[in-house]
């Protein structure tokens, strides 16, 4: 079990964030159409981003153990034993990702992010 480096994690982050942005932007435009024509209550654009971010990571990591960014970098999410992370672990990962301070813990947690540390998971080469 070889843990991936910071460069791979940055690549994963950039690819996945771009995809989440596209998904949330599309969903926000679709919803705003309904706000305009049917009088639904409006939501701020960042709400669509955070909901999309949570659902994106929850679905991809709980079913396939990897996101499209991890597919490109040939890495996956595992637990301490190197096996598939449980749904609860993926849920914790997805929830902690919603915090802005998540990535700032890398220097203090031996190269791991806060969502890895709190969920007991690792990103390793597939």
Query: 3 phi and psi, to 5 degrees?
Result: -70, 140
pLDDT tens-digit map of 72-108: 999 999 999 999 999 999 999 999 999 988 878 877 8
Q: What 3-state class would DSSP assign to 124?
A: strand
Q: Which segments of the chain have a pLDDT < 70?
A: none
Structural domain boundaries, residue 73? 6-125
Residue 101's pLDDT is: 87
Supply the DSSP string of 41-65, one letter for each residue.
PP--HHHHHHHHHHHHHHHHHHHTS
Phi, psi of 14 (to 5 degrees): -65, -45
In a domain, residue 1? The reply is no
Widest CA span in the chain: 53
Q: Are 75 and 8 a contacting pair, CB within 8 Å?
A: yes
Q: How many domains does the chain have?
A: 1
Q: How far apart are alpha carbons 77 and 37 in whole angstroms?
A: 42
CA separation for the pair 68, 71 (Å, rounded): 5
Q: Model pTM? A: 0.92
């Amino acid at each position: 079990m070889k843990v991936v480096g910071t460069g791979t994690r940055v690549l994963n982050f950039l690819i996945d964030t771009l995809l989440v942005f596209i998904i949330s932007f599309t969903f926000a435009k679709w919803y705003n159409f309904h706000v305009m024509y049917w009088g639904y209550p409006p939501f701020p654009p960042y709400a669509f981003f955070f909901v999309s971010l949570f659902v994106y990571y929850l679905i991809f990591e709980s079913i396939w153990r990897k996101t499209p960014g991890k597919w490109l970098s040939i890495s996956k999410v595992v637990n301490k034993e190197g096996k598939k992370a449980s749904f609860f672990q993926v849920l914790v990962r997805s929830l902690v990702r919603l915090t802005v301070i998540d990535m700032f813990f890398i220097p203090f947690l031996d190269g791991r992010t806060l969502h890895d540390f709190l969920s007991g998971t690792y990103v390793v080469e597939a």
